Structure 1
Amino acid sequence: MRHLKRTLLSLFFILLFILATFFTWLYSQIDSALPQLEGMRTIYGLSNSATVTRDQHGIATIKADNRLDVAVATGFVHAQERFFQMDLLRRNAAGELASLFGAAAIQYDTDIRRHRFRDRASTIVKKLPPADAALLKAYTRGVNQGLKYLKAAPFEYLLLRHEPVEWQEEDTILAVFSMYIDLQHQDGRRERSLGLLHALLSPEVFAFLNPKGSRWDAAIDDSTFSPAPMPKAAWPAAAGADITASALVKTAANQSTSANLATPTDFPGSNNWAVAGNISTTGSAIVANDMHLGIRVPNTWFRASFEYQNQQQPVKVTGATLPGTPNIIVGSNGNIAWGFTNSYGDWSDVIVLTTNADNSQYLTPSGYQSFIERKQIIAVKDQDAVNISVKETIWGPVIGKDNQGNLLAFRWIAHEQAAVNMVISEFETATSVEQAIAIAPRAGMPAQNLVVGDKQGNIGWSIMGPIPVRSASFGDVPTSWANGEHQWLGLLPPAQYPKAINPKNARLWTANSRVVGGKMLAKIGNGGYAIGARATQIKQSLYAKPTFDEPALLEIALDDRAQFLSRWQDLLLTQLLTDDLLAQNPHWQEVKELLYDKQLTASTDSVAYRLVRNFRLNVKQQVFDIFNEHMAKLDPSYNYNSISHQLETPLWQLVNQQPDNFLWRGHDSWPALLSASLNTTLAQMTKNDSLANATWGKQNVSKIQHPLSKAIPFIGYWLDMPAVELAGDSYMPRVQGPAFGASQRMVVSPGHEERGIFHMPTSQSGHPWSPYYRAGHENWLTGQASPFLPGESKYQLTLLNY
């Protein structure tokens, strides 16, 4: 017995020793992946020494003699702080995620491979102008040395059992392509969805569901479009299609009666606005910008300030960089400040192909041509590679079939040689709005609304990025290009770009909705604009005061008033919460008390906001879900999310006019539909709480995670941001959801950067043991003003040349 005890005790200590050794090794590996913050390091590619200082939030100030040395140092810092994030960007665009994550990513990689972005990136690199090529080469050298000088690979690779792969020049181009995928549809989903509606519905019904304008229009040129009228005929009217009322009601009967609450989809976008110097307290323009993206750990952006000499002139530019690229994306250089919002112009077309009997050829203006078949190999972690074939036409890749079985091809501006370049770096040395507006048409990036202001007080707007020129007015729905009538004629010349400089009202604003009308709109097109609720609220706030300073513009960014929902609040009070209906539904009395005489705000303590918001979404679900499910059965490519925002206008018309000829609903009457929606809302809100305690904050709880914490839950405690209640929502300036919202906020006046404001969620570093992990996140949450410029230096790293 004593021998057994000794044996067990020995085994225990051996096991303890093994575990201690393992965890010591694991600790040392993770600790060794921390970036070097202080000391010296010799770097190949520098023409002279460079310094990298960091303040208490990790904001990097990179000083060098010239721009190429800044690029080397930036690459070094990006790799040390964010290499795994950079790796995900390039793999995302190249369709190479399966080699990192295994079989789960095969389908995604297969879909992305049809764009052949790695091949396109390689071609772009070879054709870059010498200055751009030199910048890219310098940045790439810095990245690979930053990776090399980490004592251990970034900790994510340890968890994935994978080795990081060196950066290539084409990978920077892929990082920009990844933003194309994020900001524009890569599969033609909106056009294909509208094409299905156009094919099945009568013209008046299609126009009703695809409105050109609404009461929320807030274009900077005051142009407006009226909503389409309510269809008069019984509808749906689709000859030859199985879309009858009885079929839809049958579909409704098969639906679950306890459907989950419909929620708005993430809508990658942004807000920005500017005031001219004659109404600013600085005398210079003031530019505000908050870019809305999915929020992850680490954040999309990396804050930095560059200082160098350009033609004997000192340059200091501060703002946000995108790890994987060498440029300041948004910021200020002392002479101009600039920001972006996603433009949602029409940057792609779906082409209906006419094919021969065996689908081996397709018709073009010069006759039938054979498809080009390109073989692709997808490497998959822990299993054999997958071989796929990408089918292409002279216009672009084949992306599937329509509901009639016709093959579809896809023409996308991202496939053009001009899709990506380094022209944005010219903003660093631009000195005026006029110069910035002239740079915008030459820039290779996903087309954005550029809002820029300068030290002299001027402000301007234009589209930044390539714009296709079409042979005719088309592109809302898929069309045939076989006879040559429909085609792209090249890119819009810079002289013809839409722009607005120094409007009489001294104010500019954009928020992903339509910005202009007339001839300028004809050049931009409509790629699925947001409804203009945010833009309207921003516009009203900009007209509410005669002058502005930076805190006043930050206040606009943090505005969580729910003007968009005020009419839905009125509808509840006037159509449902009446004396007669309250007598029949006494449990609604508390709803009336919560809503009556209340101004809705998406504050964390508001029950009223959550009530009205969720009621609207439940009404929308009740009205459109049967229809959407049926459309998806007719064509699996139908994507409701791609058109859902535009349905607010017809939805409001329907619930107010309550037409008898509207058949896509599973209720006997409109009052019954509205009553059911309210009861569903109450049931959802009181499932785990009383109605009085069911605040908006309890629903809108942050869930900002590291990509790996979803796959390896136990590490989320160290990697993820704390879960907190969030103010804000989709249809107001303060866009904020559980893992979506303002990826940065910036308010800055060129020449007065010391007064500027900058917010960024999560932190600069991707390493949880960094001294500034989560630094700055609290200010982003609360909206407390924090400095635009880096603060006092806490760390200094000197990079020496050979």
Structure 2
Amino acid sequence: MKSLKTTLISILFILFLVLATLSTWIYSQIDSALPQLDGKQTLYGLSDSAIIERDKQGIATIKASNRLDIALATGFVHAQERFFQMDLLRRNSAGELASLFGAAAIDYDSEIRRHRFRERATTIVSQLSATDSALLKSYTRGVNQGLKYLKAAPFEYLLLRQAPVEWQEEDTILTVLSMYIDLQYQDGKRERTLGLLHSVLSPEVFSFLNPKGSRWDAAIDGTELPSSPLPRAPWPSASSEKMAALLNHQSLDKALTNLTPSSLIRTKSAQSEEFPGSNNWAVGGAISATGSAIVANDMHLGIRVPNTWFRASFEYKSADNKSVKVTGATLPGTPNIIIGSNGHIAWGFTNSYGDWSDVIVLETNADKSQYLTPDGYQSFIKRKQIIAVKGQEAVDITVTDTIWGPVIGENAQGNLLAYRWVAHDKAAVNMVITEFETAESVQQAITIAARAGMPAQNLMVGDKQGNIGWTIMGPIPQRSAMFGETPTSWSNGENKWLDLLPPEDYPQVINPKNSRLWTANSRVVGANMLKKIGNGGYAIGARSAQIKQNLEAKTSFDEQALLNIALDDSAKFLLRWQNFILSEVLTDTMLAKHQEWHEVKNIIKDNNLSASTDSVAYRLIRNFRLNIRDQVFDIFNENMAKLDHNYSFNTIRHQIETPLWQLINQQPENFLWRSHDSWAILFEVSLEKTLSEMTELTTLENATWGQQNISKIQHPLSRAVPFIGQWLDMPEVALPGDSYMPRVQGQAFGASQRMSVSPGHEESGIFHMPTSQSGHPWSPYYGLGHESWMKGEASSFLPGPSKYKLTLLTY
């Protein structure tokens, strides 16, 4: 017995030692992955010593003798702080996530591989200018030394049981191409969706569902475009034969009868209105407190830990020996300041949503082995792709190419489709944005913008002299004719891309008379400028209109005044919905039927409707609108998805607001796809559903917007390994704001940064961003700055006093 006891104690002691040793090793590995903040480090490739200072929030000031040394030092810092984030970005566009995450990523990788972005990135690197190429080489050298000088690999690789792979020059190109995937359609789904609607609906119905303009139009040139009237004939009458043929030759009536509306049982995301994009606006020197222009910007993206951006300030001598100091946000994986101010100009971006791609209907021979081109039939190009998969054998796939781009599937009629996308061009990516660091005027910046290779953005720029300007920054395709809204054939040569728009033809607006400019992902201009840009799925102009109204409400602005516009959560977009519920839904008849709805009426009589965390009225009206939309278009969506599984209501949901409003107000009886016998019942069911969802866990008076809009800002690995979330994720808090107002804020989506800065007056500028500078949970500044972003408190644009100093030495 004593022997058994001794044996058990010995085993437990050994287990304890094993666990203690393992825990010590894991701790040491995680601790060793922290970046070097102080001291000295020798780097190969520097022409002279450089200095990296960090303030208490980890915001980096990089000082070097020239731009190439800045690039090398930036690569070093990015790798030490954010290498895993960089790795995900390059793997995302290369279609190489399965090698890190296993079989779960195979489908995604297979879809992305048709773009052959790694091959294209290699080609882009080979044809970069000597200046861009040198910049990329220096940055790459810095990244790999930053990774090398970590005492252990970033902690994410310990969890994944993988080793990080060195950075290559083409990986920076892939990082930018990953932003193309995030900001533009990589699968043509919107155009394919419109193509389906165009093919099965009558022209008047299609025009009604695809309006050119709305009451929310707020273009900076004052142009307005009309919406379309309600269709007169029963839907879909004029095209019912086509519809029936596509629905497996069933009669339309039978097809409709056999469909069961599912909107009442489908779970919908409360954040379904998210729209990757941004706000930016500027005021000229004539109405600014500084006498210089002031530029404000908040870029709306998915928010994770760490944040998309890394804050930095560069100080160096330019090629003509001028002192340069530029401050703003960098994108880990690239050597540039993406947005910021250099003392002469300040600039920011919003996603442009122009028409940067086309879906091509291929005319094929009988066995679909060839397709018709202006030069006759050609054979498809088959390319083998090998997808490495963690934990199992590699997967072989074949992607199919045409002279115009990859084959992306078939339409409802069975025709093969190809995709022409500006991201496939050699001009898609370059380092021209670096020239912003030394630009001294709005006109200079606009000239630079027209040569830049990046996902096309609305550039907002202001200078020290008080000038402000807007243009598109990024490549713009030139078409042979007005086409591209829906898929077309290119077989006879009439439809084609001629080339990219030359820089001298780029649209621009400089110094408008009212000294105010703004953009927010909606249509910015009209007439000939709009023809050059096209419509790739603009947001409805509610945010733009609200920003415009706020800018027109004052005659003078400072940086705080512009930040206040970014924090505006008043619900002007929903005011008409508020009135609609009060007048059309909460009628005497309905109140008599539902006595409890008297409480609803009292709640939504809110004279200052806003997306504040304590508002029950906002949540109720907002969710009612979404439920109404689901009810109205449920059967419609069921039919469209039955015709083509690539149909995506999500890609057109914002433009649907205008026809939706017309439908519920005019309540036409010729709309055959309504899921209820009368419009009144539809409204009743929608409100019942809204109230049921809101009161599932609480009473109505306590069902605030803050209860629904709770932040969920997580590290990519915390979902897979939940117990680490308590160390990695940001605290869950109720957030004000929503989608159709300047303060865009959802659970894990919203302003990835906020900036308000006047060039030459950076010391009074404002900048904050979510999460923090660090990607490592044990960093002394992990999470610092996040609270200012949550509360919308002004924090300094410039880095604070230096707390850490690392000197980089040359060999």
* TM-score interval, smaller chain: over 0.9
Q: Could you tell me how far apart the structure 1 residues matched to 2:553 and 2:748 are?
A: 31
For residues 58-97 of structure 1, the aligned pairs below 5 Å read: 58-97=58-97
| Residue of 682, 693, 702 corresponding to 1:684 | 693
- Alpha-carbon deviations, 1:511-568, whole Å to 9, x = none? 0000000000000000000000000000000000000001100000000000000000
Distance change >3 Å, CA 15–CA 585, structure 1 → 2: same
Alignment of 1:269-284 (within 5 A): 269-284=277-292
Change (3 A) 1:248 1:338: farther
CA–CA distance in 1 between the matches of 2:594 and 2:765?
A: 53
Give the partner amino acid of 1:255.
S
CA contact (8 A) 2:634 2:675 kept: no
Instruction: Give the structure 2 partner of residue 452 of structure 1.
Output: 461
Shift of residue 7 of structure 1? Answer: 1.3
Q: Distance in 2 between matches of 1:777 and 1:190?
A: 35
For residues 640-699 of structure 1, the C-alpha deviation after alignment (integer angstroms, 9 at most, x for no partner) is 111111000000000000000011121010011001100100000000000000000000
TM-aligned CA deviation for residue 4 of structure 1: 1.5
**Mapping of 1:16-415 within 5 angstroms?**
16-237=16-237, 238=239, 239-242=241-244, 246-247=253-254, 249-250=256-257, 252-253=259-260, 255=262, 257-261=264-268, 263=270, 264-310=272-318, 311-415=320-424
Q: Please state how far the C-alpha of 1:764 moved relative to its aligned partner.
A: 0.5
- How far apart are the structure 2 equivalents of 1:351 and 1:563? 40
Per-residue deviation at 1:584?
1.4
SS in 2 for 1:610: helix
SS of the residue 2:378 aligns to: strand
Q: Is 1:555 the equivalent of 2:561? A: no
Distance 1:653 1:267, change over 3 A: same
CA distance in 1 between partners of 2:724 and 2:606 (Å):
46
Amino acid aligned to 1:505: N
Segment drifting more, 706-715 vs 324-333: 706-715
Q: Is contact 1:459-1:502 (8 Å) kept?
A: yes
Name 1:601's counterpart in structure 2. Answer: 610
Pair 1:626 & 2:628 matched? no
Hey, what's the Cα distance between the residues in 1 that align with 2:604 and 2:559? 34
- Amino acid in the other structure paired with 1:741: G
Distance 2:398 2:254 in 1: 38
Q: What are the Cα deviations for residues 551-607 of structure 1, in whole angstroms up to 9, with x where unaligned?
A: 100000000000000000000001122233211111100000001143210000000
Within 5 Å, which residues of 2 pair with 1:664-675? 664-675=673-684
3-state secondary structure, aligned to 1:253? coil
Alpha-carbon distance in structure 2 between the residues aligned to 1:256 and 1:67: 57
CA drift at 1:349: 0.2
Alignment of 1:517-528 (within 5 A): 517-528=526-537
**Aligned partners of 1:493, 1:250: CA distance in 2, in Å?**
54
The runs of 5 or more residues in structure 1 that have no matched partner are none
User: Counterpart of 1:632 in structure 2: which amino acid?
Assistant: A
Maintained 8 Å contact 2:462/2:469: yes
Provide the rounded CA distance (Å) in 1 between the counterparts of 2:266 and 2:641.
17
Alpha-carbon distance in structure 2 between the residues aligned to 1:117 and 1:261: 33
| Aligned residue among 763, 769, 781 for 1:772 | 781
- The Cα shift of 1:252 comes to 4.9
Is residue 757 of structure 2 the alignment partner of residue 748 of structure 1? yes
Give the letter for the 1:25 counterpart.
Answer: W
- SS across alignment from 1:623: helix
Provide the residue aligned with 2:718 in structure 1. Answer: 709
Taking the aligned partners of 2:266 and 2:385, their CA distance within structure 1 comes to 41
Partner deviation per Cα, 1:70-124 (whole Å, 9 max, x = no partner) = 0000000000000000000000010000000000000100000000000110001
Does 1:513 find its partner at 2:522?
yes
Distance 1:530 1:257 in 2: 27
Residue identity in the other structure for 1:561: S
CA deviations 1:604-640 (Å, max 9, x no partner) are 0000000000000000000012211221111011111
Give the C-alpha shift of residue 481 in structure 1. 0.2
Contact 1:703 1:738 (8 Å CA) reproduced: yes
Q: Secondary structure at the match of 1:714?
A: helix
Tell me the secondary structure at the aligned position of residue 383 of structure 1: coil
Relative distance call for 1:570 and 1:252 in structure 2 (3 A) is farther
Distance across 1 between alignment mates of 2:259 and 2:674: 8
Task: Report the CA distance shift for 1:251/1:461 in structure 2 as closer, same or farther (over 3 A).
Answer: farther
Distance in structure 2 (CA, Å) of the matches to 1:134 and 1:261: 49
Q: In the alignment, residue 104 of structure 1 is paired with which amino acid?
A: A
Secondary structure at the counterpart of residue 622 of structure 2: helix
Cα 1:733–1:247, aligned 2, differ >3 Å: closer, same or farther?
A: farther
Unaligned runs of 5+ in 2: none
Which AA in structure 2 matches 1:81?
Answer: E
Aligned partner letter, 1:774 = G
- 3-state SS of the aligned residue for 2:354? coil
Task: Say which of 606, 617, 625 aligns to 1:616.
Answer: 625
Alignment partners' CA distance in 1, 2:429 and 2:197? 34
AA at the equivalent of 2:205: V
Task: Check if 1:428 corresponds to 2:437.
Answer: yes
Shift of 1:250: 3.3
Q: Distance in 2 between matches of 1:752 and 1:716?
A: 40
Q: Equivalent of 1:761, from 770, 773, 778?
A: 770
The match for 2:587 among 550, 559, 578 is 578
TM-score after normalising by structure 1: 0.99
Secondary structure in 2 matching 1:462:
strand
Whole-angstrom distance in 2 between the partners of 1:47 and 1:256: 64
Contact 1:261–1:614 (CA<8 Å) still a contact in 2? no
* SS at structure 2 position matched to 1:729: coil
Following superposition of structure 1 onto structure 2, how do residues 657-668 of structure 1 map, counting pairs within 5 Å? Answer: 657-668=666-677
1: CA distance, partners of 2:262 / 2:349: 42
Question: What SS does the aligned partner of 2:394 have?
Answer: strand
Counterpart residue type for residue 730 of structure 2: M
Q: Distance in 2 between matches of 1:579 and 1:182?
A: 48
User: 1:538·1:733 contact (CA, 8 Å) conserved in 2?
Assistant: yes
Q: How far apart are 1:265 and its partner, in Å?
A: 3.9
Give 1:708 shift: 0.6
Q: 1:526, 1:644 → 2: CA distance?
A: 15
Distance (whole Å) between structure 2 residues aligned to residue 431 and residue 344 of structure 1: 28
In the aligned structure 1, how far is the partner of 2:673 from the partner of 2:52? 62
For 1:267-317, what per-residue CA distance to the aligned partner results, in whole angstroms no more than 9, with x for missing partners? 110000000000000000000000000000000000000000011110000
TM-score, normalised via structure 2 length:
0.98
Residue type matched to 1:240 in 2?
K
- The answer (yes or no) to whether the contact 1:248–1:626 under 8 Å persists in 2 is no
Structure 1 residue 443 displacement after superposition: 0.2
Shift of 1:255: 2.6
> Which amino acid in structure 1 is aligned with residue 3 of structure 2?
H
- Could you tell me whether the CA contact under 8 Å between 1:251 and 1:630 is conserved in 2? no
- Which residue type is aligned with residue 253 of structure 1? T
Q: Secondary structure at the match of 1:645?
A: coil
Please state if 1:799 is matched with 2:808. Answer: yes
Structure 2: distance between partners of 1:464 and 1:645: 24
Tell me, what secondary structure is at the counterpart of 1:770? coil
Q: What SS class does the counterpart of residue 656 from structure 2 fall into?
A: helix
Quick one: which of 448, 452, 462 aligns to 1:439? 448
How many aligned residue pairs are there? 802
Amino acid at match of 1:283: G
CA RMSD of aligned residues (A): 1.0
Counterpart Cα distance in 1 of 2:259 and 2:368:
37
Would you say the 8 A contact 1:262–1:618 is kept in 2? no
Report if the CA contact (8 A) 2:261-2:635 is conserved. no
Kindly indicate whether the alpha-carbon contact (under 8 Å) linking 2:263 and 2:631 is maintained by their aligned counterparts in 1: no
